[in-house]
Amino acid sequence: MDVAAELPFEQVDPLAVAPALRELQSRAAVHRVRTAVGDEAWLVTGHAQVRRLLDDDRLGRAHREPETAARTGESALFGGPMGNFDTEHTDHARMRSLLQPHFAPKHLRGLRPRVRALTNELLDQMAGQRDSADLHTALAVPLPVLVICELLGVPYEDRDQFRAWTADAANIRDRDRSERGLGELFGYGRQLVTRKRQKPGDDVISRLCATEGVSDDEAAALSMALLFAGHETTLVQIGLGALMLLTTPDQWRALVDDPSSVGSAVEEVLRVTGKGGGGIPRYARTDLDIDGVVVRAGDLVLLDNGAANHDPAVFADPDRVDTTRAAGQHLTFGRGARYCIGAPLARIELQEVFTQLASRFPALRLATDVAELRIRRDVLTGGLTNLPVRW
């Protein structure tokens, strides 16, 4: 089935599953589709199937013949295969073993007061703008950048440059631009590693450099992967989460009236806005059966966690925003061996953002029609380009 034109690669409504995808989901959990660049793939939309396959080692990011593999787009990061097919599982386990200690929930809980203080400072600045501001530029962009810079030991004054490189690297339409951005970002990482080896600090990059057996290239690659993932995805969710709450006034009012409900509100934000941009790409390492569909070794499989997060078999009335919902089964952060290492940090940031917004700006509302808002379509992470608000 060729449904590339209908799939949500160019989704208009950022807070609901596209009608074409909902129709597919109602018929079956696995579908033969074409990606945005015309390659064939299997799209998996059912929650049970996506949940199981996210932690299935018969799927991976590497491909035995990467030059012939199907692609989702032109991004050098996620457009096609990544890694060495023969050593993928070992390499991934090593990466997690190096990074996990720095992102353990117990370790990150100590960071919460600093996240709270940074959020408060940014909202102080926003409050000084009389009765309106762009929440995207005032809060959604700077907060995750400030946090990840402090955690990694990256100079905040370099933010404009490395954000431009991460945006280029994530470009899904221009392969050359994506490769250049990735190269610039890695070169920047090498510079940081050189500095940290000469003058270490109390930060993740310095600790990686001090880890026995970690080369400069490995430290740079891991650090820049954290820099990218540590701010881009969180800033997108802050913006879309605020939009979700402000376009459902009863849910915003419920949070204002009961700030202690922020935990469940954040999980609903993650569920509703947690989309996979057409599906998390995996390649079949061997022949396998998915709900009666035979998938051959080398085939591209797209695990659509966005569709899974809106599966009516798991979430009643899934397109309705309900901050009291038990939304903990969402798959926004993945599952199992590839569960997002930064999930605890993202939760801390989102909880602090929406707690303080609700307490300090209870009358917060959109300052423009939703139809006037713009979503980025050229980068992997998507997200709003602006979010005008009043209070």
Amino acid residing at 159 = R
Nearest CA-CA partner of 298 in 313, 282, 321, 311: 282
Q: How many whole angstroms separate alpha carbon 85 and alpha carbon 322?
A: 42
| CB-based contact 358:266 (threshold 8 Å) | no
Q: Are 254 and 261 in contact (CB under 8 A)?
A: yes
Q: How far is CA 313 from the centre of its chain?
A: 24
Over residues 297-334, the pLDDT tens digits come to 999 999 999 999 999 999 999 989 999 998 789 999 99
Cα separation, 380 vs 279, in Å, equals 11
pLDDT of residue 18: 67
Cβ 297 vs Cβ 286: under 8 Å: yes
Predicted local distance difference test score (pLDDT) of residue 2: 40
What pLDDT does 1 receive?
Answer: 42
Cβ-contact 352, 115 below 8 angstroms = yes
* Structure tokens given for 168: 């280029």
- Its pTM stands at 0.93
Looking at residues 40-58, what average pLDDT do you find? 96
Query: What does R_g of the chain's alpha carbons equal in angstroms?
Result: 21
CA dist 350 → 119, 271, 288, 346 (Å): 10, 13, 38, 6
The DSSP annotation for 17-85 comes to --HHHHHHHHH-SEEEEE-TTS-EEEEE--HHHHHHHHT-TTEES--SSGGGS--SSS-TTTSS--S-T
100: exposed, middle or buried (Cβ count in 10 Å: 0-12, 13-18, 19+)? exposed
Please identify, in words, the CATH class of the domain defined by 8-390.
Answer: mainly alpha
Q: CA angle at residue 56 from 52 to 62, to 5 degrees?
A: 135
Rounded CA-CA distance 55/327 in Å is 20
Question: What digits encode the pLDDT tens for the residues 219-235?
Answer: 999 999 999 988 989 99
| pLDDT tens-place string over residues 110-128 | 899 999 999 999 999 999 9
pLDDT above 70 coverage of the chain, percent: 94
User: Predicted confidence band at 79 (pLDDT cuts at 50, 70, 90)?
Assistant: very high
pLDDT digits (tens, 9 = 90+) for 9-20: 334 466 666 667
248 in helix, strand or coil?
Answer: coil
- For the chain, what are the domain ranges? 8-390
In the predicted model, what is the mean pLDDT of residues 75-79? 88
Beta carbons of 330 and 346 less than 8 angstroms apart: no
**Sign of the CA dihedral with 127 first, then 133, 135, and 139 last:** negative
Burial class (CB in 10 A: 0-12, 13-18, 19+), 388: middle
